Structure 1
Amino acid sequence: MIADVLADAGSRMDRAVEAAKDDFATIRTGRANPQIFQKIAVDYYGTPTPLAQLASLNTPEARTIIVTPYDKSALKAIEQAIRDTPNLGVNPTNDGTIVRVTFPELTAERRKEFVKIVRSKGEDAKVHLRGLRRKSKDELDALKSEIGEDELARAEKELDVITRAHVDQIDEALKRKEIELLEV
């Protein structure tokens, strides 16, 4: 029973760390990265549809992304969705067949702004991990009558070790992203 609770907590925390890393990838750096468009939803015939399902994304140059829609009628909607996305700071151009997105150089001020955003997302991920830890601890406390206090204390220590390892993974990903953002 204890092993099940700890394994469940570990797998949930693994998913939370991956979600945080994906979230970090959506913050743009000086280079163009198709993952930045990962969370953009395009209004396609009245339905919010992920951009990746409507178009292919290519990076021909360091600061340019070419968006080639599978359905040319979605071109305007794709262009508008990219333009309306906050924190991108880009102005896409549409030539009738593709959307070209050129990323301007980031100013030092803008880089620091992005670092603050990434730190905020990192803190949110850590709060989520602590919530998962609290839920798992409650599950262990519910087992107290069946397992005894010594086993419960050992399981809580093991849960703390699992939590700390996952928090460290988020801190490491955060540190890498900050270095990437501040790199000129």
Structure 2
Amino acid sequence: MKLSEAESTMQKTIDATKRSFNTIRTGRANTSLLDKVMVDYYGAPTSLKTLANINTPDASTIMIQPYDRGSMNLIEKAISLSDLGLTPSNDGSVIRLNIPPLTSDRRKELVKLAAKYAEEGKVAIRNIRRDAVDSIRKQEKNSEISKDESRDQQDDIQKLTDKYIKKIDELLADKEKDIATV
């Protein structure tokens, strides 16, 4: 595994961690809260975003307008069964989700969830580092590169790993601040 390959894979891990953070609810309405909601549409699990237009008319409301009105009840059921803790209200043409202000206990739970997502990202980055270092050691063992080259490349991989771990820590700090903001 080359340094550039390792870096691009680490960047993908950062992007995945950002997407995970976006699914954590803060005190404001955000359409990305619904990214993981899957609707059982005609027997197939379908992403809510493909079934409806989703927007935020104000800071505490998410409005979902299904393309097919026949799917209203299915969408309502999927949201109710999700782990969002939101109750949908259906007026016949749109579904509204009111985002209540977070309690301090709920904020603590969400900070723990964000920390869990960050740790998953860090583990993924460390696994990429391990694979890269194994590849370098294998090249050294096969006499494709010298010991000095091997050590230099391993140092570069470690510096890259430290850089991306720091990025995840910064993302986590931002998300914790976002959750704590009332």
TM-score between both structures, scaled by the size of structure 2: 0.97
Residue 148 (str. 1) matches residue 146 (str. 2):
yes
Aligned length: 180
Cross-structure match for 1:80: 77
Residue 139 (str. 1) matches residue 135 (str. 2):
yes
Give the CA deviation at 1:118. 0.5
Give the CA deviation at 1:96. 1.4
What SS does the corresponding residue of 2:39 show, helix, strand or coil? strand
**Which structure 1 segments of 5+ residues have no match?**
none
What SS does the corresponding residue of 2:144 show, helix, strand or coil? helix
Residues 83-134 of structure 1 show CA distances to partners (whole Å, capped at 9, x for unaligned) of 1111x22100111111100011100111011001110111111011101111
- The code of the aligned residue for 2:4 comes to A
Distance of 1:55 and 1:139 partners within structure 2? 46
Cross-structure match for 2:2: 5
Distance of 1:89 and 1:61 partners within structure 2? 19
Residue 175 (str. 1) matches residue 177 (str. 2):
no
Cross-structure match for 1:120: 116
Distance of 1:40 and 1:16 partners within structure 2? 21
Q: Which deviates more, 130-139 or 22-31?
A: 130-139
Tell me how large the CA RMSD over aligned residues is. Answer: 0.9
Cross-structure match for 2:52: 55
Give the CA deviation at 1:24. 0.3
Residue 97 (str. 1) matches residue 115 (str. 2):
no
Cross-structure match for 2:43: 46
Distance of 2:132 and 2:23 partners within structure 1? 30
- Spell out structure 1 runs of 4+ moving beyond 6 A: none
**Which structure 2 segments of 5+ residues have no match?**
none
Distance of 2:45 and 2:134 partners within structure 1? 38
Residues 131-171 of structure 1 show CA distances to partners (whole Å, capped at 9, x for unaligned) of 11111111111111201100000000000111111111111
What SS does the corresponding residue of 1:146 show, helix, strand or coil? coil
Q: Report the identity percentage.
A: 42
Distance of 1:164 and 1:76 partners within structure 2? 48
What SS does the corresponding residue of 1:143 show, helix, strand or coil? helix
- The code of the aligned residue for 2:42 comes to Y
